[in-house]
Amino acid sequence: MLGVLAGYWKPDWKEAQRHFQLAMAREPVPWHVRSWHATFYLRPLGGYVEARKQSERAREDNPLSQVLHWLSGNILAGTGSETEALEAYERAVELDPHFWIGH
For each of the domains in the chain, give its residue range(s) and CATH number, in order of start. Answer: 2-102 (1.25.40.10)
Query: pTM of whole model > 0.75?
Result: yes
Answer for the pair 68, 31: CB distance below 8 angstroms, yes or no: yes
Between CA 98 and CA 59 the distance in angstroms is 20
Omega of the bond leading into 28 within 30 degrees of 0 (cis): yes
Torsion angle in degrees (nearest 10) through CA of 19, 21, 48, 78: -20
CA dihedral for 87, 56, 46, 10, sign (positive or negative): positive
Tens digit of pLDDT for each residue in 32-80? 999 999 999 999 999 999 999 999 999 999 999 999 999 999 999 999 9
